[in-house]
Amino acid sequence: MAATQAGRELVGLFPPGTTQDATGGLVLGGVPVAELAETYGTPALVVDEASIRARARRYADGLAARWPNSRVTFASKAFPCTAVNRLLAEEGLGIDVAGGGELALALASGADPAGLVVHGNAKTEEELRLAVDAGAGTIVVDNFDDIDKLEKILTDPMSEQGVLVRVTPDIRPNTHEAVSTGQNGSKFGLLLPQAREAIARLRGSDRLRLDGVHVHVGSQILDLEPFAQAVEAVAELGEFSVYDLGGGLGSRYTYADRPPTVEAYLDAMIDVAKRLLPADARILIEPGRSMVAESGVSLYRVVSVKRGGGHTFVAVDGGMGDNLEVSLYQQRFEAAIATRPTGEGELCRLVGRHCESGDTLSAGVPLEDPRVGDLIAVPVTGAYTYALSNNYNGARRPPVVFVRDGAHRAVVRRETYADLMRRNLP
Ligand SMILES: *Cc1c(COP(=O)(O)O)cnc(C)c1O
């Protein structure tokens, strides 16, 4: 099959290392998509293991080269399963968790508790107790209630728990309102005057060890200014031994998206850090989306093709049950017929199987002669799709399949109908 420019661009959105077989079909991690669909069924979330590992190394090496006393911590909410946590822990990353569930997943994956960073704007006393008992290295204080609860839990004055104070720097990045977190009016963190108050209180505590400050201004951020501004804001609070600069770098979902490279992103922050932060401080960053998004591909089967009123609806066997990014944040995705990804053809509305008109995977995507039974591949679904998957319309949440060097293995199995019934009491 002669590759066209459109076809090459489309394949370029799939995980690095994706190739095509003799007939043009996509080959993910050395495994043809048709084989994956046959083995695991659809919908399925396929993850290219080598590309996540490469991404983790690029982040870790890039940060260490610019600021040696540093660590990359994976924001596990972007893909909360033990296999992904384990893989990133193996690469030497710390793990961010919010709440007891993510804490349990991180511990089950074998991650070192000392490298856990515990977040959340509404941590219950029970969750804080779990974190303290597990030996979580860092707890990020979001509010004064966190301090009260921790001082109650830590009865032994010798048991110094490391904490950071989450700062709201009043920065409004250009991203969807639902994933902007650093502005005045955000439910997260403390504005500078309140942050100063919390810092003073923590400095006087005999059980909590104030290590430093934390800032995270939002997600899917495609420009660099907010990251640089965030470092400037935390620098104003004074000198600490740790500065956690959060996550938020955007991913390339569509041809039009031009996110900064990891290196440009690190330069933007570390240039400011070199000017304003103490040279011996430790810097943490917490990428989630940009660590995993590009490594994931969702596979679906076409169930129906319907034409009328100037539209062609291509309906697949998944949708908002396995990808809520579209309905929650109006995230745009491209898509391909996996066995002939030409990037050309009829402009179609790629829709899901759920009972809402908002259940659209892509409002307008060119597909070449789509037919019932065709395999559809949606690239860049590695972040927040698994996390937000649900049982709407009785959907069984899809399996997660790792591919690498021509081999494949399920790391999360598909839900069964029995799973759907499991919590329903007679
Ligand atoms: C969500 C979150 C992140 C990761 O954000 P991404 O946009 O996925 O990189 C990092 N830190 C905190 C505190 C978060 O809540």
Cα 248 to averaged position of ligand 1 atoms, centre (Å)? 6
Give the C-alpha separation, 147 to 209, whole Å: 11
What mean pLDDT value characterizes the chain? 96
User: Is 119 touching ligand 1 by the criterion CB < 6 Å?
Assistant: yes
User: Is 246 touching ligand 1 by the criterion CB < 6 Å?
Assistant: yes
Q: Report CA-CA distances (Å) from 385 to 146, 195, 321, 327, 337.
A: 30, 33, 9, 12, 20
Give the C-alpha separation, 132 to 126, whole Å: 10
Q: Is 355 a catalytic residue?
A: yes
Instruction: Please name the amino acid found at residue 104.
Output: A
User: Is 247 touching ligand 1 by the criterion CB < 6 Å?
Assistant: yes
Collapse the DSSP code of 37 into the 3-class scheme (helix H, G, I; strand E, B; otherwise coil) and give the result. helix
Cα 96 to averaged position of ligand 1 atoms, centre (Å)? 9
* 275 pLDDT higher than 70: yes
Q: Per the residue annotation, which of 114, 355, 372, 407 is the catalytic one?
A: 355
User: Is 149 touching ligand 1 by the criterion CB < 6 Å?
Assistant: no
Residue 296 annotated as lining a ligand binding site: no
Cα 97 to averaged position of ligand 1 atoms, centre (Å)? 10
| pTM score of the predicted model | 0.97
What's the pLDDT at 156? 85
User: Is 164 touching ligand 1 by the criterion CB < 6 Å?
Assistant: no
Give kind and range of the element (H or E) at residue 315: strand 311-316
As a whole number, mean pLDDT of residues 376-398 equals 98
pLDDT band, very low/low/confident/very high, at 304 (cuts 50, 70, 90): very high
**Percentage above 70 pLDDT, the chain:** 100
Q: What is the best residue among 216, 243, 253, 386 to mutate for testing ligand 1's pocket, by most ligand atoms within 8 Å of CB?
A: 216
pLDDT band, very low/low/confident/very high, at 159 (cuts 50, 70, 90): confident
Give per-residue pLDDT as tens, 315-365.
Answer: 999 999 999 999 999 999 999 999 999 999 999 999 999 999 999 999 999
Cα 370 to averaged position of ligand 1 atoms, centre (Å)? 37
Task: State residue 273 phi and psi, 5-degree precision.
Answer: -60, -40
Give the C-alpha separation, 216 to 214, whole Å: 7
* 386 pLDDT higher than 90: yes
Tell me the domain boundaries of the chain. Answer: 5-48+293-421, 112-287
Q: Report CA-CA distances (Å) from 338 to 20, 32, 245, 302, 378.
A: 10, 9, 38, 11, 9
CATH class, domain 5-48+293-421, is mainly beta
Give per-residue pLDDT as tens, 198-239.
Answer: 999 999 999 999 999 999 999 999 999 999 999 999 999 999
Tokens 């909590």 correspond to what residue?
A: 208
Give per-residue pLDDT as tens, 10-58.
Answer: 999 999 999 999 999 999 999 999 999 999 999 999 999 999 999 999 9
As a whole number, mean pLDDT of residues 99-105 equals 98
* 108 pLDDT higher than 90: yes
Give the C-alpha separation, 403 to 36, whole Å: 9
From 3.20.20.10, 3.40.50.880, 3.10.20.30, 1.10.730.10, which CATH number describes the 112-287 domain? 3.20.20.10
